Structure 1
């Protein structure tokens, strides 16, 4: 009878293992999420060691089957409970560190009127798609870039369809001017060796995870057009390890990866990124890290407080953004910065703090209002109330962005159609007085940001300085005022109900 050679079996296992390891090494970018998750969960090896030790001890006394079950139960119990506690410790550590490192701002920086943020992300995506005339490509991504001093929404021209996905590269960059209300789209054409959207062997992320740092977390990429050449910039964070009282990690800014059109990858430290000529005008600090750190400041009074008294606890204000949320990147006279408006925990919607983060250096500042101001969510309610003729079944307020004009804080709210086909108008809501100023053109937006009175604002026109005789409020069943109508002088109000008309004179 034929007997197998044990050496041949061992050799076969070794060959299979070697091939498996080679494939795993080559395709390691596909394993990144799992590997990075394990790497940034240092409680995992501790749970494994304790589970194995207790399992072996139980095996000696209770047998292999029971011992194995005991070991697995201990491992999973320690992993779940330990990860939960470590997550709370990480949040508290990150929040308190953010509070300690943040400077105190006496006032917010003035918004740069030359770089107004007019077009929302949803509208920019629609503009880019509507003007696209490349049948084999689609737009992908969507982030802010700066070219020659003007901020744009940038998109990659990615292959469209299965065949093109495998055979074509990123074909260029689509830029939508975010400072102009009407569609102003520019397309820079040219294939990138490693780009956004194609199959892995032509993809920037696969190449980055093979040639740059592997054990880091990459943010979303954004396109940069510099002197006619296209680049992809990717900010990233790296973990900082803490070992007591339980092992956990917190994120910190690691740097920026820059990929040129030929696929050359540069891994830049924060200082190197700021000094790089291609990135001179760009935001560099990771978006997700900004939100995570500001949100973590809810633990400023400790973990127990967040589950009990909620003293001084905050939350990042949820705002209508159509796929785009805080922080918002704004351009001030001092440069680009992320702005995060936070509210008190719970049902309160007042403005508790405004966090500003230098988008190039990552320096945090906290501004605490000295007077009562309302927050971003409430600003959209005031826009609805002030708009007497807007059909809110067809339009919606979007992206309330804080802007500062002559030391006064306003919420800049864009009103857009439900299909995001354009900007209907822009409303500036005074965060102190609740006055709503509606402007309809880009020129009027710039004029308002410059502090120039805009025709048609509440401070001008035939009703300026006059007190209405009657104020009619349209109220929802829950008591919320949906809109208001002011009646002046000898004007009348006509109430129509069914087929019966009633007229009231003042």
Structure 2
């Protein structure tokens, strides 16, 4: 029989339990509200917990165990309840960390294999290299543009941010810069002041255009809730914004476009995720953000001609190609490494990296990845992959049995065109930014020679990637017009100041020029050591007169 005291105690315990549960529920609600309000700060962690198998096991498991312990009654232990619960949570975290790490290894390998299979299934084999845009060559390197542009502007409370590639209204490629607030105090209250564009398609006096009359409501380098990054994550939380934004101008208005990366879960053969293109976020100056699907982005008039596909997804797909013939095939010791390719090695201090961004005909931007066979001793190209920057479509050219020079060898040949130059930082000149281009269906590496302080481009060197080609190994061009004439297929002997050299850097004799009707012959002037110092083209019927001038040296007897 239950006494009145026992009944009263039971009721008191129930009241205390309800009260304790209510307090804890309120605490969790407050925590959730704070996390939700500050959700952009937690975006990197929460996104990975949802879209990474290893972190889902560890992070998700720890959160569930912590929630269970928080709402559970005190544990029976010699230690205080809070200490005992923390001990259980720590043990669970260690176990979940080990399990998550163990599962993450095969999940990552399966992800690579899935990406490789999907890429090969979607890709088309090209018989020839795609034609480049003959009116839109990348001539001014990023470092040179940065020096020239920053030396030409004056903002007292703003600075030019990191440059990226965008298309100008007239179709030219440009290095684009956000005009962002600085220093710290201005970042708290100031706004991004439009964008700045510098034409990259010329050597001489590049066109610079400032669109800084109107501010961005949400921009770069603005702090917390005022920044574009914060508002992007608030308005579409389950996407990543790994690429740098593309700053550009359309019909006189400045915009920023963020290619978006997402992830999809796949359950076979084991649960794993793969990165996918999730669309484009278009940021207007008035603060409006349009989250566009891939199809909507391709149909957008504002985004016409800009690059839309994420660079990080392109890199992930290209890196995965080593798994295209299976997982075991590329394992050390047991693998045969049949058909295994990897991104070609880039020389140090060249100022760019893969994937290269180039403009193909019809103003179609493309990401290019040069792939070499697996192994430290192989540097020749096996395949060249092209990713449509607007649609994400893949196609590739396979060299087959042909030997193609990679960027490392091409840079060596470019430097070998002038053995008297002290190349590299602190030297006489620097060879930078090798970019693959197509000339008459052949692949060439377009390198720029710049001054040591990277203030100017002094010449362009094209190195033929086809080592067995009957054409020249390298071409040295000294002005913008020659670059475009060469890309359009003009023979070197028809270019006034161009030089053709072989693989060893020795000049190839280009006279007489039977297919150059404007040249009858050349007058070649040599110094006393037999080195050529000048070459003069003589037109048919042109009268030639020679005059010798001799200056005696004054010597003290």
TM-score bucket (shorter structure): 0.7 to 0.9
CA distance in 2, matches of 1:220, 1:381: 31
Alignment partner of 2:368 out of 335, 339, 344: 339
Post-superposition offset of 1:48: 7.9
Matches of 1:463 and 1:187 in 2, distance apart?
45
User: Displacement of 1:187 after TM fit?
Assistant: 1.1
2:33 partner SS: helix
SS in 2 for 1:187: strand
Aligned-residue offset at 1:18: 3.4
Q: Kindly indicate whether residue 151 of structure 2 is the aligned counterpart of residue 133 of structure 1.
A: no
Counterpart-to-counterpart distance in 1, 2:111 and 2:479: 46
1:457 aligns with 2:504: no
TM-score, normalised to structure 1, is: 0.84
1:122-167, Cα deviation, whole Å (9 max, x unpaired) = 2222222111211211111321111221111111001111111111
> SS at 2:302's partner residue?
helix
Q: 1:39-72: CA deviations, max 9, x gaps?
A: 111344556899999xx9xx99xx9899877644
State the superposition RMSD in angstroms. 3.1
Alignment of 1:373 onto 2:404? yes
Q: Which residue of 1 aligns with 2:484?
A: 446
Corresponding residue for 2:219?
Answer: 195
| Matched position secondary structure for 1:81 | helix
Once the two structures are TM-superposed, the CA of residue 459 in structure 1 deviates from its matched residue by: 4.5
- Say whether residues 1:36 and 2:58 are aligned partners: no
Matched with 1:359 is 389
Q: Structure 2 residue aligned with 1:312, among 317, 329, 339?
A: 339
Q: Higher strand fraction: Structure 1 or Structure 2?
A: 1
Counterpart CA distance in 2 for 1:268 and 1:130 is: 37
**Offset, 1:490:** 8.1
Q: Report if aligned partners of 1:47, 1:76 keep a CA contact under 8 Å in 2.
A: yes
The change in CA–CA distance for 1:283 and 1:162 in structure 2 (over 3 A counts) is same
Q: Report what 2:102 is aligned to.
A: 81
Report the counterpart of residue 416 of structure 2 in structure 1.
385
Once the two structures are overlaid, the 10-residue window that deviates more, 205-214 or 356-365, is: 205-214
3-state SS of the aligned residue for 2:290?
Answer: strand
Equivalence for 1:485 = none
8 Å CA contact 2:53, 2:271 repeated in 1 = yes
Unpaired runs of 5+ in structure 2?
A: 1-14, 70-74, 512-525, 532-557
Does structure 1 residue 26 correspond to structure 2 residue 37?
A: yes
Match of 2:284 in 1: 260
Q: Distance in 1 between matches of 2:288 and 2:423?
A: 49
Say whether residues 1:350 and 2:361 are aligned partners: no
Query: CA offsets per residue over residues 313-354 of structure 1, 9 Å max, x none?
Result: 111113246553111111111422111111111121101100
Q: Measure how far apart 1:417 and its partner are.
A: 3.1
Q: How far is 1:237 from its partner? A: 1.5
Question: C-alpha separation between the residues in 2 aligned to 1:231 and 1:446?
Answer: 30
Q: Quick one: structure 1 residues 171 and 274, their matched pair in 2 at CA, closer, same or farther if it must change by over 3 Å?
A: same
Deviation at residue 238 of structure 1 after TM alignment: 1.1
Secondary structure (helix, strand or coil) at the match of 2:118 reads: helix
Match of 1:402 in 2: 436
Q: How many residues align?
A: 463
Q: Given the superposition, is the C-alpha separation of residues 137 and 91 from structure 1 closer, same or farther in structure 2, using an over 3 Å criterion?
A: same
Q: Specify the alignment match of 1:240 in structure 2.
A: 264
Q: Name the structure 2 match of 1:92.
A: 113
Q: Relative to structure 2, which stretch is displaced further, 232-241 or 210-219?
A: 210-219
Offset, 1:10: 6.0
SS in 2 for 1:279: coil
SS at match of 2:322: helix
Give the superposition deviation at 1:78: 1.4
Closer/same/farther in 2, CA of residues 492 and 211 from structure 1, 3 Å limit: same
Q: CA deviation at 1:11?
A: 5.9
Larger Rg: 2
**Equivalent of 2:191 in 169, 194, 200:** 169
State whether structure 2 residue 131 is matched by structure 1 residue 123: no
Structure 1: 5+ residue stretches without partners = 467-487, 494-506
TM-superposition CA deviations, 1:228-264 (whole Å, max 9, x none): 1111100112111112333211011110010111011
Q: Deviations over 1:75-97 (max 9, x none)?
A: 22211121122111111111121
